[in-house]
Amino acid sequence: DPIWTKARADGGFEYYDVFINLVIDALKCVDPATCHPTVLGYLAGMLDKVAWYIDSDKPLGSAHAATDTWNRRKAELGPKLLADLESFGVANDMYGLKKLFGRLSDHHGW
């Protein structure tokens, strides 16, 4: 929470990178086959929070260092966990995760 609070403050983009590194480190400890769904859901929620600010084209308002970290480190999570996170994001309509995995439709229903 203290790191997320710093990330959300004006000019706190460096803390998005710290936050995503912590989330990835925690997710690396998860075995999708044996992880309790509540734990996976919690960690997916943490990833969803920061994923809102991850943009491959790095426009203003995105977390550039966190984007670089995600692109560099996501393979460490393995294909099964990445697929589980993507499925969880879609099933629970989590904007950040859907964005992160390219699952946003062109029609947002707005």
Condensed to tens digits (0 to 9), the pLDDT of residues 29-64 reads 999 889 999 999 999 999 999 999 888 777 666 788
- pLDDT for the residue 32: 86
Residue 75 DSSP class: G
* Cα 42 to Cα 1: distance, rounded to the nearest angstrom: 13
The answer on pLDDT for 109 being more than 50 is: no
**How much is the CA Rg of the chain, to the nearest whole Å?**
14
Q: List b or e across 33-44, with b for residues whose CB sees 16 or more CB atoms inside 10 angstroms.
A: eebeeeebeebb
Instruction: Compute the Cα dihedral for 102, 90, 94, 44 and give only its sign.
Output: negative
